Structure 1
Amino acid sequence: MDSTNQVIYDFSNLTANEVEIETTDDTDKSTENKVKPKVETPFFELSDYLNGALHEESHYSWSQTFTEIEIHIRLSKNVTSKNLKVNITYTSIDIHAIVDGERTKVLGGQLYDKCKAPDAMWTITGGNKLNISVDKTKEIWWKKLFQHESEIDTKKIDCSRQMNELSDETQAQINQIQFDEQQKLKGQPTSDQIKQQELLRKAWDAEGSPFKGQPFDPNIVQFQN
């Protein structure tokens, strides 16, 4: 080859800072347009099977408190409140859907224990989620919802109870204890001490009282144990 026709490029004088990579708009757009994988939200929430069980293959779950059972069922898109038949007795639940004249079983079976059927309530939320709420006849922890299910480990359930689940008498006692504790911190009389003062005030001006007509001063009265 004739040496006079050779073109020689000399890169010896270039530094690293002089080497630039050009980014085109097409490159940026291709990165932006990448489809991010969609994360599907679970149909049943943790609260839907708290202290109960999740039967995802059968499209339902149940949860419980000490006094109540909640059942959550995933319905087919073609099932609405108009074609849904919910039959709840003291010992069983039977749910069917009638679509295009055909009767299809949604869920059902004999309950683990008795429920207060007349007070049962059900509603459909989110378009296809059937929620059923029933009260227990006895304050016990259910080991399963239906007799045909496997039992849950009741040792692992949260045994704490909400305030509104307690009897009126128990709630009143708890409120009194909390009030007395607050009064002690403030240096104020407790509920029992307030009751004593009210009784003393009534007796102070009663007929035959040696204090009748005098300004009320509970500190001058001594109680005998």
Structure 2
Amino acid sequence: MDGQHDQAFLQILSEEKNITNFLDAFFGFLFRCTDFYVESSAEHKLGFPPGIAEKLVIDSAQKWKSIYLQTSALTESHESTVPLPIVEESPSTCVAEEVEVETNGFEPTKNLIPLEQPSDSYNGAVRENYTWSQTIADLDVLVKIPECIKTVKGLKVVITGDQIKVAAKSSILKDCNTIEMINSIELGECTIPEYTTLLEGHFCMKIRKDESIWSFVPGRHISIHLEKTIERWWDALLDGEPKIELGKIDCSRNLDELGNAEQMKVEELMWNHQQKLLNKPTSEKLKMEKILKKAWNVEGSPFKGTDFDPSVLKFS
């Protein structure tokens, strides 16, 4: 349970976009690189006996589900609060749901771990408590959270088509001295909001709510992935924040962001360039040679009856 591989898994999850693709990538890796699916027999010793591979998967899933339920029960008994409506069997990755978030009773002020990597703001910006980046098609947001937030049951995340809210449970923040009262209220009882807002605002443009996912690194940050409804560059993540200069962003696109036809064309251009550097024929010359080779011995060809020799031909 030390989480030594969490960063690698989070990177894969970010690339695969959702849990289904993540699991498909994992089991595909087992197929390509291991003998996980091979069934052993009296003659064939490699692999597992029939049914054992499936049992290993189920046992592992049940083990972590049991750990999650035990952790959740301990957290609930300690906090004595109503469970969050956002519940996942994996405490580190959740799909966005719409819930209500209370705000403003407290303000987060301490114990926020800084976001370290400049690449986290690629084509975006670093703000006070969050960092955002973008490609032409999607956005990624890292929201800083206090060190004392160790499970998703201390969080609420709301993502709709045009706005976002991220909040932490006030009781947890108060216990670790992360929040302070904004106003001193001299009453017999002080009413504390159930949740304290960490991030809230309206997107400057629409996103695809159903394609949004978020993952959670305990005590560090929430990583949120958003898909744009229209492929265009944003000059801000939220309304009201300072705008970036679109003229200074990197407008290049990764090869895997292009369609199949575009990818094939780029790969062909790169291959042709390499062939020219090596003084070898390009794809066009190879195609032309193939056509001429077919016509070399046809009736009426001046080369009929001779061996094909492309050196006698000149290509423009």
Same fold at TM > 0.5:
yes
Contact 1:119/1:134, CA 8 A, preserved across alignment: yes
Q: What does 1:187-198 correspond to in 2, within 5 Å?
A: 187-198=279-290
Bigger fraction of residues in strand: 1
The Cα offsets for residues 65-119 of structure 1, whole Å up to 9 and x where unpaired, read as 2222111111122352233232322222222334549233232221111223322
- Aligned Cα root-mean-square deviation (Å): 3.4
Instruction: Pick the aligned partner of 2:143 from 73, 79, 96.
Output: 73
Relative to structure 1, is the Cα distance of residues 118 and 177 closer, same or farther in structure 2, using a 3 angstrom cutoff? same
Q: Does 1:61 align with 2:153?
A: no
Point out where structure 1 has 5 or more consecutive residues left out of the alignment: 1-40
Counterpart mapping for 1:200-215 below 5 A:
200-201=292-293
Task: Return the match for 2:167 from 66, 75, 96.
Answer: 96
Instruction: Detail structure 1 runs of 4+ shifted over 4 Å in the superposition.
Output: 199-207, 209-223
Please give the secondary structure, in 1, of the residue aligned with 2:161: coil
Asked whether the equivalents of residues 44 and 61 of structure 1 are also in contact (C-alpha less than 8 Å), the reply is: no
Counterpart selection for 1:51 from 109, 123, 129 = 123
TM-score of the aligned structures, taking structure 1 as reference length: 0.64
- Asked whether the 8 Å contact 1:66–1:165 carries over to 2, the reply is no
Q: Which residue identity does 1:91 align to in structure 2?
A: D
Give TM-score, length-normalised by structure 2. Answer: 0.48
Q: In the alignment, which residue of structure 2 is the partner of 1:162?
A: 254
Distance 2:312 2:249 in 1: 55
**Highest RCO, 1 vs 2 (Cα 8 Å, sep ≥ 6):** 2
The answer on 1:183 being equivalent to 2:253 is no
- Contact kept? 1:79, 1:97, Cα under 8 Å: no
Q: Distance in 2 between matches of 1:148 and 1:68?
A: 20
Question: Which residue of 202, 209, 216 maps to 1:117?
Answer: 209
Structure 2 vs 1, CA of residues 221 and 107 (structure 1 numbering), >3 Å: closer, same or farther? Answer: same
Asked which structure has the greater CA Rg, the reply is 1
5 Å-filtered alignment, 1:125-136, equals 125=217, 127-136=219-228
